[in-house]
């Protein structure tokens, strides 16, 4: 199989060489100078979006959708070169991030994609083509409340996944009344442990590193004198129901709130009351549904190094017919090259079952080729050099590697050492552990690489949206004074103008091909015209001058149409698609 | 239970119906929005202490969806236990609203003090019609009178890039879109020998060839070779809910609750957890045909929780529904006694023979029913089916009914695509959602069954014809006698329906076939059954059902769960040390919630809390107890504490929930 990415990039480089760019890579000064070695809170991301829109108003428009449950406007960037056509006449790509509040880096990756397109427009031909021929809708923060809360309040790498609508998770009629508590007020939410009589605990301290808790098997606890217990996340029983931290802020999952295989909360945790029940998901749903030209979707999450596609449940495999899977694989296989440490995976088969996920809605509900990337892979934190992947050594636990990384690479920045705290329920305990910035997000010095690679994966995906042109217009003499007109439209990219999922499930409308010419009478017409045998095509019974193409124009393929006509003069053949604009062929009898 | 008030048939409401001279008007014009509004206004004005008008939401076309709240006392609706009654989800069933209106009138005709007592702290919420947009089509508000199942959502049903471009056309200009019968040797229909106005299916297996095909009155407006294939049925509101939502279908809509009417209904019910039962007047029936138990309950996880959608109800909930059903039938018995008592004055009918005929038919229907869930209670079934104007023979049939209607929207009746499992709530419906995702009691009645089945017994039929109550027959096709009108439910114009119209409606509802020179088909005839005829309950059916529903709903209000603290025991164990035990007991007839709500946490349990003053301390026992699912009629949960407190300290126990009144108990330690 040819690798279109390679050829695309080679082409770009060749053109760049000819154009003699003003700056070489190493000492290039950005026109829009943004620090990509850090994260930004809600206000920071908004400021970046405002800056991009104000610096490149001719290419970039900022609007706000939502607002979120807590009232934060959700910035959304539209990149389109109006001078080359209105939005709805072009294929568009949707990019979002941070639907889970703690999975922050998706926000930076989304803004970076916009920035890179604007910053390199007119400089790198591949970028210029994308900006001129495509549209990008970029929403960096699907969950601005969860994002802001994660940055400003004590949290773990895993907490603040939810949005902030108060939710009664323990069904006691009270909302968000028993979340974690920062017992010592140090701004960190870490783990509680307590020392107990030897033999009555379930852990002991690592003999070489007392920061590390070693779990002791049940049958060895007496013998080894296990003398520590772990007490979970920092917190106490705020509502006196005997449970700790069981009803924290929010308490749901907006990536289970979309109308594709949606299941209620008791089957799918976090699903919400019904699809689109949250302000954020409703606003996005409305925006996307109103733009049938969206032909590619990318959603950024963390972590694990994955390029994921649906289905989220094995019962929905029929939404991914073979020809679509071929497209998914064509993009994701090159994606594995663009993204070292990332793997091409299927959500339900390789991760876990998801009902009502966002890319499941865009893929299965709207028939759009859609990916979720899990940004950042912890395998990148610490290398054993020639020994290879430390995870494969089986000698050191992940926790030990985390400590090596923190000690030797981060110089202690990401770890809170155990220290004593008085607990209202448990007496004296120790709290300690890794801070929220360790585990699911990369260290500052690795952010830029992560978001660049993910952003250009999006650009590669965007480049695979259908690009259709007239391949040939042929007029032959037919019997009885008739003329035979054959027109071929070619799609030079992977994504068809109508996916097989859309065709199978009756999503959206077929492409429409219209033959028009004053003084010309259409006698017959139809698609699937044979290349050589002029009599071989699927003549339709009605409206031969207006043909419906259920399958559109396939990826890296063509559709060839034929008409038997009579008369003379000029004619046009117009291909009208929902996802790739309009293409007009013309000719004369 | 206290004896139920017996309602007199003579209470039957006199709705301000406008009679018209047109022969082909429906037997009873549907209530207009204006008439509904007038009803609301009258009710609110006549009962200012009990009735509040409210607006549920707005239809896609902008019509307010209004209803009535019946409640006594000051508590806000959100704090009340009660029931929600909904009608008119299907635009083709305008008569459902008449049932709800008649029901409201019967309830409000009860003695004021009786109502005030029954509604104290409780509420009945009645919304007669949700789908004003769809019904507007039958009311002639959107051009010629036609059927529109859904709301006013436009669609490109044939996916040709044009929206709603090929609907039916009123070719003969009579203001109604009916049918065309087109002479066609390839057609599947022949004129019925019993009644040449009617059509029956050609018996091809017996060598009989069809002579006609039947289509909706109209043209191939867009010239694509298909007639009336994109006529705009809107989104079917009762298929726009999230349980078993029919994805990627025109009827289901773009996503669950995509339609403002469905969304408004969902938001309202969700926000009022005290409305623990919903009664839908529409195309389902759970009071005559009990929905079955889930065949398989997929459980797992550490709580052994339900992991996939159920295809039936939990068995405890079926048992409770059976009690609803029994009471519904008791209401009928009361009504019968009443009718018999009145018989001398009101020489109406022979309710008994009518009912017996029904019971037989239903028994037959049950024998055919493959669903085992209903088979183990044959006695109850026979009893439950002994009713006059209620519902369907079984779920399959009631469903086949709506399929037929779908089929009529297209040129030829194609294969039935909407699959419904026998004994389950219909996928995508409000009712199914209300139970499976909101934990409410799924109560549904069908106001009547169209008379497409002809009685197998000619005498019963003539009784039927004279009866005010018997609207339907029930014989199976196989039982048909030679000389009877054709009993073909699939026929666009069955002879049995025409016979019924002739007998009971002076022929109203049938538009005589008239010759028409069709631009595409040549000589055709236009006519047939008036839109909506086979779905819309006649006014007397609506009245009869309302007679039955009113006492039953009063009964249900009294049966709602009600918890109290009982068996309190306080013991002083030592100086300043006490044990305290108490039971929370449900004295209502209904459980505190449905079992499903309890298992899935869709309604919150009863929360019991022990409140201690300063100086008192719990030594053992929880600060709060969440009490899941207390059965009715004495279901109880015990709880106990050990407390350290000075003598004479006053403690307080409280129990609060959404489905029962809150209670408190003060305890003074000895």
Q: Do A276 and B255 touch (CB under 8 A)?
A: yes
What residues of chain A lie within 8 A of the CB of B309, using their CB? 263, 267
All structural domains of chain A: 65-150+252-378+442-463 (3.40.630.10), 168-249+393-434 (no CATH), 468-588 (2.60.40.10)
For testing the chain A interface, which of B225, B248, B439, B627 should be mutated: the one with the most A CBs within 10 Å? B248
Residues B598, A136: Cα–Cα separation, whole Å: 46
**In a domain? residue B154:** no
pLDDT, residue B384, reads 33
User: Are B385 and B422 contained in the same domain?
Assistant: yes
Residues B576, B647: Cα–Cα separation, whole Å: 6
Report whether B354 contacts B320 (CB < 8 A).
no
Q: Do A542 and B225 touch (CB under 8 A)?
A: yes
User: Are B548 and B400 contained in the same domain?
Assistant: yes
Nearest chain A residue to B603, by CA: A171
User: Are B274 and B315 contained in the same domain?
Assistant: yes
pLDDT, residue B399, reads 37
Closest partner CB to A543 (pick from B224, B305, B604): B224
Q: In chain B, what percentage of residues exceed pLDDT 90?
A: 65
User: Are B13 and B56 contained in the same domain?
Assistant: yes
User: Are B507 and B622 contained in the same domain?
Assistant: no
Q: Do A275 and B257 touch (CB under 8 A)?
A: yes
Closest partner CB to B256 (pick from A259, A506, A576): A259
pLDDT, residue B335, reads 59
CA–CA distance from A171 to each of A200, A256, A345, B601 (Å)? 34, 20, 36, 7
User: Are B597 and B654 contained in the same domain?
Assistant: yes
pLDDT, residue A373, reads 98
User: Are B572 and B433 contained in the same domain?
Assistant: no
Look-up of token digits 């069709």: B518
Q: Do A509 and B161 touch (CB under 8 A)?
A: yes
**In a domain? residue B161:** no
Residues in chain A whose beta carbon is closer than 8 A to a beta carbon of chain B? Answer: 168, 171-173, 239-242, 259-260, 262-267, 273-276, 285, 289, 365, 505-510, 512, 541-543, 548, 576
User: Are B427 and B308 contained in the same domain?
Assistant: yes
**Distance of residue B596 Cα from the nearest chain A Cα, in angstroms:** 10
**In a domain? residue B148:** no
**In a domain? residue B151:** no
What residues of chain A lie within 8 A of the CB of B436, using their CB? 264
Nearest chain A residue to B658, by CA: A173
Choice among A84-93, A326-335, A530-539, B367-376 with the minimum mean pLDDT: B367-376
Range of the domain at B485: 179-231+456-529
pLDDT, residue A14, reads 42
Residues A557, A326: Cα–Cα separation, whole Å: 13
Residues B273, B280: Cα–Cα separation, whole Å: 17
Cβ-count burial of B407 within 10 angstroms (0-12 exposed, 13-18 middle, 19+ buried)? middle
For testing the chain B interface, which of A174, A177, A259 should be mutated: the one with the most B CBs within 10 Å? A259
CB half-sphere exposure, A33, CA atoms < 13 A: 3
Average pLDDT, chain B: 81
**In a domain? residue B174:** no
Q: Do B623 and A512 touch (CB under 8 A)?
A: no
Tell me which DSSP letter residue B425 carries.
P
Residues B93, B96: Cα–Cα separation, whole Å: 6
Residues in chain B: 670
CATH number, domain of B662, equals 2.60.40.10
What is the number of CB-based contacts under 8 A between chain A and chain B? 92
pLDDT, residue A141, reads 98
**In a domain? residue B613:** yes
The average pLDDT across B405-416 equals 35
**In a domain? residue B586:** yes
Residue-wise pLDDT for A23-74, tens only, equals: 446 789 999 999 999 999 999 999 999 999 999 999 999 999 999 999 999 9
Residue-wise pLDDT for B45-76, tens only, equals: 999 999 999 999 999 999 999 999 999 999 99
Closest partner CB to A509 (pick from B159, B255, B305): B159
**In a domain? residue B622:** yes
User: Are B185 and B111 contained in the same domain?
Assistant: no
Q: Do A548 and B656 touch (CB under 8 A)?
A: no
Look-up of token digits 């969902």: B266
User: Are B137 and B185 contained in the same domain?
Assistant: no
- Looking at the 3D structure of chain B, how many domains does it have? 3
ipTM of the complex: 0.93
Closest partner CB to B307 (pick from A171, A267, A275): A267
B534 pLDDT tier (thresholds 50, 70, 90): confident
User: Are B541 and B468 contained in the same domain?
Assistant: no
Q: Do A267 and B242 touch (CB under 8 A)?
A: no
Chosen domain end from B512, B529, B546: B529
Residue-wise pLDDT for B423-447, tens only, equals: 689 999 999 999 999 999 999 999 8
User: Are B423 and B467 contained in the same domain?
Assistant: no
CATH number, domain of B14, equals 3.40.630.10
Residues A225, A203: Cα–Cα separation, whole Å: 9
At A388, give phi and psi (nearest 5°).
90, -160
Q: In chain B, what percentage of residues exceed pLDDT 70?
A: 76
Chosen domain end from B507, B529, B551: B529
């Amino acid at each position: 199989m040819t690798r279109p990415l390679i050829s695309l990039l080679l082409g770009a480089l060749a053109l760049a060489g000819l154009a003699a760019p003003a700056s070489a890579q190493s000492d290039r000064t950005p026109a829009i100078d943004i620090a990509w070695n850090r994260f930004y809170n809600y206000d920071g991301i908004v400021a970046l979006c405002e800056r991009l829109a104000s610096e490149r108003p001719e290419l970039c428009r900022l609007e706000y959708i939502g607002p979120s449950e807590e009232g934060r406007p959700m910035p959304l960037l539209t990149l389109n070169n109006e001078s080359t056509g209105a939005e709805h006449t072009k294929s568009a790509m949707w990019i979002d991030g941070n639907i889970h509040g703690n999975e922050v880096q998706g926000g930076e990756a989304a803004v970076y994609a916009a920035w890179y397109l604007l910053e390199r427009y007119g400089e790198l031909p591949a970028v210029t083509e994308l900006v001129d021929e495509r549209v990008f809708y970029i929403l960096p923060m699907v969950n601005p409340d969860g994002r802001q809360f994660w940055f400003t309040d004590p949290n773990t790498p895993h907490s603040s996944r939810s949005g902030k609508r108060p939710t009664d998770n323990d069904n006691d009629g009270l909302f968000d009344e028993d979340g974690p508590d920062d017992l010592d007020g140090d701004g960190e939410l870490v783990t509680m442990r307590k020392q107990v009589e030897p033999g009555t605990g379930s852990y002991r301290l690592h003999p070489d590193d007392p920061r590390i808790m070693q779990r002791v098997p049940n049958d060895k606890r007496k013998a080894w004198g296990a003398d520590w217990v772990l007490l979970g996340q920092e917190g106490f029983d705020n509502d006196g129901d005997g449970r700790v931290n069981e009803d924290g802020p929010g308490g749901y999952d907006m990536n289970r709130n979309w109308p594709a295989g949606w299941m209620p909360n008791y089957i799918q945790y976090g699903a919400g009351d019904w699809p689109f029940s949250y302000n954020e998901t409703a606003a996005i749903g409305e925006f996307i549904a109103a733009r049938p030209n969206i032909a590619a979707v990318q959603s950024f999450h963390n972590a694990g190094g994955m390029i994921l596609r649906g289905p989220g449940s094995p019962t929905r495999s029929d939404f991914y017919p073979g020809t679509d899977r071929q497209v998914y694989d064509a993009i994701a296989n090159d994606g594995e090259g663009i993204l070292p440490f990332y793997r091409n995976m299927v959500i339900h088969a390789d991760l876990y079952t998801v009902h009502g996920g966002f890319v499941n809605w865009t893929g299965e509900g709207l028939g759009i080729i859609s990916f979720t990337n899990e940004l950042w892979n912890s395998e990148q934190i610490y290398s054993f050099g020639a020994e290879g992947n430390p995870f494969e050594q089986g000698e050191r636990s992940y926790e030990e590697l985390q400590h090596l990384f923190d000690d030797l690479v981060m110089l202690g920045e990401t770890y809170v050492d155990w220290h004593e705290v008085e607990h209202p329920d448990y007496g004296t305990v120790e709290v300690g552990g890794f801070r929220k910035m360790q585990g699911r997000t990369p260290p500052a010095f690795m952010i830029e690489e992560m978001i660049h690679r993910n952003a250009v994966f999006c650009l590669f995906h965007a480049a695979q949206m259908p690009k259709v042109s007239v391949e040939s217009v042929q007029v032959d003499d037919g019997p009885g004074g008739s003329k035979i007109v054959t027109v071929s439209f070619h799609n030079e990219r992977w994504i068809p103008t109508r996916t097989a999922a859309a065709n199978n499930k009756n999503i959206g409308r077929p492409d429409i091909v219209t033959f028009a010419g004053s003084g010309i009478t259409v006698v017959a017409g139809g698609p699937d015209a044979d290349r050589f045998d002029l009599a071989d095509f699927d003549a339709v019974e009605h409206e031969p001058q207006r043909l419906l193409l259920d399958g559109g124009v396939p990826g890296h393929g063509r559709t060839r149409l034929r008409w038997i006509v009579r008369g003379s003069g000029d004619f046009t053949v117009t291909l009208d698609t929902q996802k790739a604009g309009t293409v007009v062929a013309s000719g004369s009898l | 239970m206290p004896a139920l008030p017996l309602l007199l048939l003579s209470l039957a409401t006199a709705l301000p119906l406008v009679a018209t001279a047109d022969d082909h008007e429906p037997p009873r014009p549907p209530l207009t929005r204006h008439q509904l509004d007038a009803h609301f206004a009258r009710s609110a004005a006549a009962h200012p202490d009990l009735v509040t008008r409210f607006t549920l939401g707005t239809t896609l076309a902008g019509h307010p969806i209004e209803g009535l709240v019946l409640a006594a006392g000051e508590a806000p609706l959100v704090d009340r236990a009660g029931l929600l009654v909904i009608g008119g989800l299907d635009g083709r069933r305008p008569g459902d609203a008449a049932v709800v209106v008649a029901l409201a009138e019967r309830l409000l005709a009860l003695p004021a003090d009786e109502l005030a007592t029954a509604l104290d702290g409780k509420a009945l919420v009645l919304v007669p019609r949700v789908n004003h947009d769809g019904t507007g089509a039958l009311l002639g508000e959107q051009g010629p009178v036609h059927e529109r199942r859904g709301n006013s959502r436009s669609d490109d049903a044939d996916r040709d890039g044009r929206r709603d471009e090929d609907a039916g056309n009123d070719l003969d200009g009579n203001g109604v879109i009916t049918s065309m019968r087109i002479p066609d040797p390839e057609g599947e229909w022949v004129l019925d020998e019993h009644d040449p106005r009617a059509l029956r299916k050609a018996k091809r297996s017996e060598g009989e060839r069809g002579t006609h095909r039947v289509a909706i009155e109209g043209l191939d407006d867009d010239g694509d070779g298909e007639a009336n294939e994109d006529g705009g049925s809107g989104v079917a509101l009762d298929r726009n809910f999230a349980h078993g939502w029919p994805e990627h279908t025109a009827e289901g809509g773009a996503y669950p609750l995509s339609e403002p009417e469905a969304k408004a209904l969902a938001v309202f019910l969700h926000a009022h957890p005290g409305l623990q039962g919903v009664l839908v007047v529409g195309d389902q029936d759970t009071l005559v045909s009990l929905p079955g138990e889930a065949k398989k309950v997929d459980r797992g996880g550490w709580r052994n929780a339900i992991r996939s959608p159920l295809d039936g109800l939990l068995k405890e909930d079926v048992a409770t529904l059976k009690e609803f059903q029994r009471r519904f039938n008791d209401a009928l018995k009361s009504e019968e006694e009443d009718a018999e008592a009145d018989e001398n004055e009101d020489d109406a009918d022979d309710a008994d023979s009518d009912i017996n005929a029904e019971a037989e038919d239903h028994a037959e229907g049950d024998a055919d029913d493959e669903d085992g869930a209903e088979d183990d209670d044959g006695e109850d079934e026979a009893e439950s089916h002994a009713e006059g104007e209620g519902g369907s023979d079984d779920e399959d049939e009631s469903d086949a009914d709506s399929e037929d209607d779908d089929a009529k929207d297209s040129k030829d009746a194609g294969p039935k695509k909407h699959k419904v499992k026998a004994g389950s709530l219909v996928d995508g419906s409000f009712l199914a959602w209300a139970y499976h995702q909101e934990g409410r009691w799924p109560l549904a009645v069908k106001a009547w069954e169209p008379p497409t089945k002809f009685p197998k017994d000619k005498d019963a039929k003539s009784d039927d014809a004279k009866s005010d109550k018997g609207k339907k027959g029930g014989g199976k096709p196989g039982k048909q006698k030679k000389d009877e009108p054709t009993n073909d439910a699939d026929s666009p114009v069955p002879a049995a329906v025409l016979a019924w119209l002739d007998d009971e409606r002076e022929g109203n509802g049938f538009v005589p076939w008239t010759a028409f020179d069709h631009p595409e088909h040549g000589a055709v005839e236009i006519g047939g059954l008036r839109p909506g005829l086979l779905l819309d309950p006649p006014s007397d059916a609506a009245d009869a059902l309302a007679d039955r529903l009113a006492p039953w709903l009063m009964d249900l209000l009294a049966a709602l769960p009600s918890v109290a603290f009982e068996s309190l025991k306080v013991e002083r164990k030592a100086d300043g040390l006490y044990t305290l035990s108490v039971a929370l007991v449900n004295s209502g007839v209904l459980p505190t919630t449905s079992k499903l709500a309890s298992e899935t946490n869709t309604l919150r349990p009863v929360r019991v809390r022990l409140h201690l003053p300063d100086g008192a301390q719990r030594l053992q026992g929880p600060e709060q107890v969440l009490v899941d699912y207390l059965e009715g009629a004495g279901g109880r949960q015990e709880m106990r504490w050990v407390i350290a407190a000075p003598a004479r300290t006053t403690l307080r126990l409280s129990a609060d929930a959404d489905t029962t009144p809150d209670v408190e108990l003060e305890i003074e330690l000895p």
